[in-house]
Amino acid sequence: MDIQFAQSMVFTPCDFSFPANGIKAEATTNTEMILIADVDIDLLRELNQFGSVRNLKDRRKDLFELKKTAPNKTNE
C-alpha cells in the first residue's frame, strides 16, 4: 500500500453566521487524525433561502437547467 498525504477540511458558505474564509474546521497537514465539526443544519437551510450567497437562485436559466434523474439500479 502506498503512503498518501493530504489535509481535510469542513467547508461552509462564506456568509453571515459562518467563518469569513468558509472553513469550519481544518485538520493538520500530513497528520493522521479525525476531524469533527458541528454544523447547524437549520442555519444552513435558512441561509439557502435567505442568505446573501444565492448561487442556485441567481444562475442564468438560459444557460443552465436543473434536472432530477432517477438513480441507476444495477442487478448484482
For the chain, the structural domain boundaries read 1-67
Residues 31, 3: Cα–Cα separation, whole Å: 12
* pLDDT number for residue 63: 75
* pLDDT number for residue 55: 66
The reported pTM is 0.54
**Which residue's entry shows cell 444552513?**
44
Distances (CA, A) of 4 to 13, 27, 28, 31, 44: 28, 15, 14, 10, 32
Please give the chain's pLDDT, 76 residues, in tens: 677 778 888 888 877 777 888 888 998 888 888 889 998 889 888 887 787 766 666 667 777 777 788 887 775 5
* pLDDT number for residue 70: 83
* pLDDT number for residue 50: 80
